[in-house]
Amino acid sequence: MKLAAIDIGSNAARLLITEVVTDAQGQPRFNKLNLVRVPLRLGFDVFERNEISKGKIGMLLQTLKAYSHLINAYGVQHIKACATSAMRDARNGKDLIRKILLETGITIEIISGDVEATYIYENHVAENLDKLHSYLYIDVGGGSTELTFFDDGQLKYKESFNIGTIRLLKGQVHETQWDDMKDHLKANTRSKKPMVAIGTGGNINKVFSLSKRKDGKPLTVQLLKDYYKEFSSVSMADRMRLYNLREDRADVIVPALQIYTNVMRWAEIEEIYVPKIGLADGLTKALYAEILQKSIY
């Protein structure tokens, strides 16, 4: 069975095409066939002017038409497409969703931050780690940050905050919002077990790659603080040159590290695992679960 997940975020749009096969124990295995990322940067329009410009609309439509061709070429049977913070805030977001459906045949759902956090959790990374710790998922995007707390084998807390990398670059995150996130964390992430973080998002994936850590090994909060200081001390052009970063990564990686380190500091977390999964992976898992549910009834 071939599935496609489309994630239209504030910084980029992603298409993930996955083949699901069943192993000898009857458990599904999700094999990635292709991942295509296009840096549309919708948030730079929306968080400044509250709408998506004609230029960005054209880019988004061309991207989704290309995605549609790829989906057909791979013989995908089922699609799940979602849009997050930028589309949530855009006053022309719903009109654009209708236009996309008419021109590409792709139905896109604008999801709330709470639903976004749920889809991130669909990856169930914490369930495959040891039971001696509690876990805090930290998903940092361009428009928002989703936090999901997992303890004693159960989902205990999830919340979305309008603190994202593009909003920070635009100076649109106020001190009261940071305070709100801090208070939420301290009130809702109490555990008798030591806590570790699970980081998702393109920026933490890039930091992990730069760190040269082996897969499965965590990063420390001190390392993230060091990278923050290092990146902040040089110009964006130097970040691109010295660390081989694309322009659309070089600007947002600094505010992303600010978010990760603040959350870890407030939650008193020393280590963060980076499983290199994101919203598109969670959408794929959710889509597969929906298909199974329909086949039962």
Does 230 share its domain with 187?
yes
Residue 113 pLDDT grade (very low, low, confident, very high; cuts 50, 70, 90): confident
Does 268 share its domain with 132?
yes
pLDDT digits (tens, 9 = 90+) for 86-107: 999 999 999 999 999 999 999 9
Does 272 share its domain with 285?
no
Structural domains of the chain, count? 2
- Does pLDDT of 122 surpass 80? no
Position 297 scores a pLDDT of 47
149 lies in some domain = yes
> What is the mean pLDDT of the segment spanning 126-141?
81
121 lies in some domain = no
Does 285 share its domain with 261?
no
Alpha helices by DSSP H, listed for 143-252, are 165-169, 175-188, 202-211, 221-232, 236-243, 247-250
Q: Euclidean distance between the first and final Cα of the chain, in Å?
A: 19
> What is the mean pLDDT of the segment spanning 23-29?
84
- Does pLDDT of 294 surpass 50? yes
Position 124 scores a pLDDT of 62
Nearest by Cα to 139 from 238, 260, 18, 12? 260
Nearest by Cα to 276 from 199, 186, 162? 199
Does 241 share its domain with 151?
yes
236 lies in some domain = yes
- Does pLDDT of 257 surpass 90? yes
Token pair 């004693």 is found at 152
pLDDT digits (tens, 9 = 90+) for 188-220: 998 889 999 999 989 999 999 999 999 889 999
Q: What is the pTM of this model?
A: 0.89
- Does pLDDT of 137 surpass 80? yes
3-state helix, strand, coil in the chain (%, to 5): 50, 25, 30
Does 182 share its domain with 264?
yes
202 lies in some domain = yes
Does 217 share its domain with 266?
yes
Nearest by Cα to 155 from 125, 194, 183, 111? 125
Nearest by Cα to 96 from 48, 68, 64? 64
Does 235 share its domain with 102?
no
Does 49 share its domain with 189?
no
**Radius of gyration, CA atoms only, the chain:** 19
Does 269 share its domain with 175?
yes
Q: What is the mean pLDDT of the chain?
A: 92
> What is the mean pLDDT of the segment spanning 15-30?
90
CATH number of the structural domain spanning residue 154: 3.30.420.150
How far apart (Å, rounded) are the C-alpha atoms in residues 257 and 235? 16
CATH number of the structural domain spanning residue 109: 3.30.420.40
> What is the mean pLDDT of the segment spanning 52-65?
96
pLDDT digits (tens, 9 = 90+) for 163-173: 999 999 999 99
Query: What is the residue range of 139's domain?
Result: 127-276
Position 296 scores a pLDDT of 60
For residue 6, list its beta bridge partners: 15, 81
